[in-house]
Amino acid sequence: MNRRQPKLTASLLCADPLRLGDELTSLREAGVDYIHVDMADGHFVPFLGIGIEEAKAARGATSIPLDVHLLVSNPNVWTPMVLDELSPAAVTFHAEATDHAYLLAQTIRAKGALAGVALNPATAISTIECLLPTVDMVLLMTTNPGFTRQILIPDMIEKIADLRRLIHDKGLNIHICADGNVGFENAPRMAAAGADILVCGSSSIFDGSRGGIVAATADFRRKLAEATTIMDDSRTKKQAEQNRLQEYSRQVAAEIRETLERIDVAEVERLIDALTAARRVFIHAVGRVLLSLQCLGKRLNHLGIECQSVGAMDEKPIGPEDLLLIASGSGESRLPAEIARIAKNKGARLALITSADRSTIKSLSDVVVHLPCPTKNEPRRGVASVQLMSTLFDQSLHVFSDVLALDIQDRKHLRHDEVWQRHANLE
């Protein structure tokens, strides 16, 4: 992913006024995209910015387009003057300063300039959401305007990201300009969040310790490029991981679906008949399989079929009218096999959910449902799986239990609210 580097707009306020011509020449050599002109009235912010005559002088001394930022309380008055006197490439007004934002944006665009709207840090993005289709740029103040030597307000990075998402969701093509402490450390984060225009001042290209404007700008672009590469690499790795997880999710879901589709319906019918005919259902399994089978036991209790786990504190004696339901992928688990023998000796019926064609427990069973899954003993049988050992059996059993419960609920003509009344109410 190769994203375009953000455009740089150099803050004229940070230039040396005694060497303005040389500074503008250096900015042109450095290849900055705009000259950022802060025009203030001393009222909206507590300072006087670049005056109209100073801006005109800069305009006449360079071919770099002007980007005018109006930090004034009456932008409706200033905007026509700025458009006529400076012929700027862009004019940005503050949403907080006008009740006629639509008119201002239309006025700016009518003169062929980009229309921008600015927001102070505490102003919510929602205040300009309806205005977005009418503007070309949103300038987000990332420090409080009118005060120098400020540090970045951390929440502004997320604000940039939120605005970029909103613009994307609306299908618009709007620039986001970050203004305030756009330094070597902060700029990459701003760009990564979605800012594609950066207002550069004393913490970046006018940093006197970096050998002049041309050298500082080159260092700044290099820092942006390096950070962008690192961030893009990180995104690429994150996307690859997400793609891998999504692929595994698709594979696992497909395996479970194929397993359920290959279950013999006649076997399921016999199991349902056995479950609904039993006075009481006892369930038993080991390991992860037990967790899935316990879910079925809970569903059966909700459906009015008395069900309990073997070994429970309130376990009742099993008899000829009862059913023991065992789940075992291989059908050879020692403890379930021994419990199956005891249940048969007591006259109970035995139902087995398994993947094995032949097994000790199956030889004792009255009803068998086969889930065509790999087992520890037969890792290549049934549905091909990317998962280890009998994981597919556990997963398929869990989903099969829910499907089985829905079928029984339908046969017993139970409404959801009737089932809900039997649900545990202390959880």
List, by residue number, the catalytic residues: 38, 179
Q: Does residue 104 contact residue 90 with C-beta atoms inside 8 Å?
A: no
What's the first-to-final CA gap in the chain, in angstroms? Answer: 48
Q: Which DSSP state fits 61?
A: H
C-alpha 140/C-alpha 108 separation (Å) is: 19
Strand ranges (DSSP E) for 194-320?
A: 197-200, 281-284, 307-309
Do residues 68 and 82 lie in contact, with contact meaning Cβ atoms separated by under 8 Å? yes
Quick check: 27 and 61 in contact, CB under 8 A? no
Are 137 and 92 contacting, i.e. CB atoms less than 8 angstroms apart? yes
Q: Are 92 and 177 a contacting pair, CB within 8 Å?
A: yes
Rounded to 10°, the helix 186-193/155-169 angle is: 20
**Do the Cβ atoms of 29 and 214 come closer than 8 Å?**
yes
- Quick one: CA dihedral 313, 317, 319, 321, positive or negative? negative
Cα–Cα distance measured from residue 378 to residue 380, given in angstroms and rounded to the nearest whole number: 6
Three-class SS of residue 367?
A: strand
Residue 186 neighbours by CB distance under 10 Å = 21
Q: Which two tokens stand for residue 39?
A: 């025009």
**β-sheet bridge partners, residue 63:** none
Phi, psi of 382 (to 5 degrees): 70, -150
| Beta bridge partner(s), residue 199 | 9
Phi, psi of 356 (to 5 degrees): -85, 145
